[in-house]
Amino acid sequence: MRLRAGAVRSGLRCGLLAALLALGAALAAANPAAARAPAAVPARHVVIVGLSGLRWSDVSPTATPTLWRLAAQGSVGSLVDYAVLPLTCPADGWLTLNSGARAQSDHGDSDCGTFPAVHQVGAGATVPALPRLIGYNQRFHNDPHWGLLGGAAGCATAVGPGAALALAEPQGPAGAVASYLPSASDLSAAVLARCPLTVVDLGHLGSTERSVALAAADTELQRLVAELPSGTTLLVTAPGSVTRPAHLQLTLVDGAGYQAGLLRSSSTRQPGLVVLTDLTPTVLGWLGQDVPSGLVGAPLTRGTRGALPATVRSLTGRDTAEQVWRSTHNAFFWVYALADAVVLAAIGLACWGSAPERRRRRALWWRRAAVLAVAVPVGTFLANLVPWWRFAHPAAWLYGAAVALAAVIALAALLGTRRRDPLAPFGLVCLCTVAVLGIDVMTGSRLQLETPFGLSLIEAGRFYGIGNEALGIYGISALFGAAWLALVALRRSAHSRPSSRRPALAAVAAVAVFAVFASGWPGFGGKAGGTLAMVPCFALLLMAVAGIRLNGRRVLLVAVSGLVLFAVFALVSYFTGLTGRSDIGTFAGDALHGHAGSLLLRKVGSNLGSLSVSMFSPLVPIVVLVTGLMLWRPGWFRLKTMPLAYAAEPLLRAILAVLWLLPVLGWFADDSGVIVPAAALPLALPLAIGLLSATAYGYRSSQVSKQEGTRAVPAIADSRRPVPAHDLAAEGDRGGEYPRVGRGDPGR
């Protein structure tokens, strides 16, 4: 099929216009004033109080009156305590405060081990294990700035072993701490006023006698607050925990610029949510020190909030949602995948046979089941519109709402398109999915949080944008949504004179620009893996719709297209500041200054490590390879439906190819590795089965007259004249054209 030059120019113009419109919308949404965090209010004294394991569910006016009073007059937020392992121990939290980067003491993921010893020497102390811990952390490639917190104030006092670990200096004697007190009971007003920075360790809260330890810590805090010098900014936080599972923990700030507010950070872009690595740069700002380049944290700022009781309930509810995600996430994927397999297999067995009516019925029910399966992901995201975490049985509410919404969406798609082409329900559900996720990402990513395919805050992988497990679903939905619009446009154009590919190219370009900008623009999702995976696939889809044949030069251009756009996004974020702080902007700065090596090593290590997440992880590459071979060479597997579908809709081969390619590219481009295709398979396989069966055996249930009755049979494609499946007459089997598909073969 030759391509007219006008169609190429039209596609390029449509893509460029859509890109310019999206860029203009993105720049209009960016607020330069808000993109830069307000300057920190300098403090004469800064006091950091740490109580490991402290959560908002522990705080109340009766159990912790001091904490409640500080929360009422200060700014509050949930703390993501994630260092290196899911079990972030108190020593890990204090070491992270020391260095401003994720750090870990030498322990496994089952228990915390022994806390590093602190030896008091005169008025100071030493932490002999610090040199060993520095060497141990080199394997994680997090680039810690050891001694950053202790060197920020010139004079700093450590109170308790955790505080000593936070202020220990790597220079001079091993882990030297200039000023040290072993217990908070030794504190006095004179000691608190002596240095600009004081760090206090109040111990930790375990699973036993928690209320007793909490009451004692609150009493100690009351005495400390009473002796604070004027002009003090107080930070109360929870560095690490000795218990599992992990929880969102407490952070509050009381001081100038933080009156009765909600803590915010550009690291998370979520109101009321900060991460452990935000604390050190925040303290540096209060002390008037410059934050070193490459530090991953961001200063804490104040946002508005309502009444404290409602705010605390909201923060506690967020932790409840995290626990639901943690306890049900893996089970959901197993149920989703097994339900797909069982239902599709049951339909195949129930409608087994090669008779035309059997094939038509099998294709019809596979189509219906596949539409429901494809609607499940968007249903889970929309379930966040219901505040399920507030109810007595939050997991039941979450999954009940998700299933109900998926069923409504699938039913609406099926009923709303029953008189149209058989691919329409899939196209509508996919467009609904990409619209819901894209708009959500552009408006704060609220629907992403704690949903099965969304973001877990405790995992601390991402806090905004498209998550690793949703990347394949989002990309596949965007690609097929665009492809379906192109098919509709091409079919309509075929009945007009002169026919034109321009509407089809414009449709693909519009969906591509929306999907890529929502996911990849640093002011929205900032998802590097999404840009690297989606852009080449959309380029290939545009070429297929335009009828352009691939050659070596075009393959090379397609291969680098995602990388080029990612570089543009990263440089815009780094140099202009219009998009605010973003991970890809930070990466651009590190790369320009030659400091990106550690990040790339972490990404590669994480990608390779995804192969050992579970005993089934090594099977994912095998499944991906086999499905790719099935699409490429269906005859090797004696598949009959696929050649019929390709003949009925020649563009379907290219569509399925890019749907397969996207999770593969996501696998290599994203640090989550094989998790990308693994999470996409429960959607991709039913989608492919539904598309192939609906196209190969396109039925005309709404067009068949009563006189045809039971003679209405599946439409089998005519290889001599490829036509859209929904326009085919009910022709029956053609054994001559497809000799392997006869009345004695049940079909596949």
Lowest mean pLDDT among 79-93, 110-124, 413-427: 413-427
Q: Which two tokens stand for residue 500?
A: 């034109």
187-234: pLDDT as tens digits: 999 999 999 999 999 999 998 889 999 999 999 999 999 999 999 999
374-420: pLDDT as tens digits: 999 999 999 999 999 999 999 999 999 999 999 999 999 999 886 66
Mean pLDDT is highest, among 18-22, 634-638, 690-694, for 690-694
What b/e string do you get for 331-354 counting C-beta neighbours within 10 Å, with b at 16 or more? ebbeebbebbeebbeebbeebeee
In the block, tokens 């009925």 appear at 648
CA-nearest of 661, 654, 650, 658 to 625 is 661
- Confidence bin at 13 (pLDDT 50/70/90): low
pLDDT over threshold 90, residue 294: no
Lowest mean pLDDT among 404-413, 480-489, 611-620: 611-620
pLDDT given for residue 73 in this prediction:
97
Q: Which residues pair with 698 in a beta bridge?
A: 715
- Confidence bin at 433 (pLDDT 50/70/90): very high
Which residues have a Cβ under 8 Å from the Cβ of 466 and sit 6 or more positions away? 437, 441, 448, 474, 519, 525, 527, 530
Average pLDDT over residues 234-240: 97
In the block, tokens 């009766």 appear at 62
d(CA 405, CA 411): 10
CA-nearest of 687, 514, 670 to 15 is 514
Residue predicted with more confidence, 601 or 184: 184
pLDDT over threshold 60, residue 709: no
Beta pairing class for 249-254 and 232-237 = antiparallel
Report the chain's C-alpha Rg in angstroms. Answer: 29
d(CA 254, CA 78): 15
d(CA 361, CA 366): 8
247-257: pLDDT as tens digits: 999 999 999 99
CA-nearest of 427, 513, 423, 333 to 699 is 423
Burial class (CB within 10 angstroms; exposed 0-12, middle 13-18, buried 19+) of 72: middle
Element (H, E) at 232: strand 232-237
d(CA 196, CA 289): 12
pLDDT given for residue 710 in this prediction:
36
pLDDT given for residue 39 in this prediction:
64
Average pLDDT over residues 127-137: 95
pLDDT over threshold 80, residue 244: yes
Average pLDDT over residues 510-529: 94
- Confidence bin at 490 (pLDDT 50/70/90): very high
Q: Which two tokens stand for residue 425?
A: 């329900």
What b/e string do you get for 236-257 counting C-beta neighbours within 10 Å, with b at 16 or more? bbbbbbbbeebbbbbbbbbbeb
Residue 644: left (phi > 0), alpha (psi -120 to 50), or beta?
alpha
pLDDT given for residue 86 in this prediction:
87
Quick one: what percent of the chain has pLDDT higher than 70? 87
The values of phi and psi at residue 51, to 5°, are: -130, 95
pLDDT over threshold 70, residue 19: no
- Confidence bin at 597 (pLDDT 50/70/90): confident
Residue-range domains of the chain with CATH: 5-29+318-727 (no CATH), 45-298 (3.40.720.10)
Check: CB of residue 141 under 8 Å from CB of residue 102.
no
Average pLDDT over residues 430-453: 96
pLDDT given for residue 354 in this prediction:
82
d(CA 449, CA 3): 45
pLDDT given for residue 547 in this prediction:
93
pLDDT over threshold 60, residue 747: no
- Confidence bin at 539 (pLDDT 50/70/90): very high
Check: CB of residue 592 under 8 Å from CB of residue 571.
no
pLDDT given for residue 586 in this prediction:
78
d(CA 725, CA 716): 8
pLDDT given for residue 735 in this prediction:
34
pLDDT over threshold 60, residue 611: yes
- Confidence bin at 741 (pLDDT 50/70/90): very low
Lowest mean pLDDT among 312-316, 335-339, 472-476, 577-581: 577-581
Check: CB of residue 465 under 8 Å from CB of residue 445.
yes
Lowest mean pLDDT among 105-114, 321-330, 561-570: 105-114
pTM: 0.87
Three-state DSSP state, 200: strand
pLDDT over threshold 80, residue 724: no
Could you list the beta-strand ranges (E) of 38-172: 45-52, 75-80, 119-121, 124-126, 156-159
20-70: pLDDT as tens digits: 555 555 444 444 334 445 667 889 999 999 999 999 999 999 999 999 999
Quick one: what percent of the chain has pLDDT higher than 90? 71
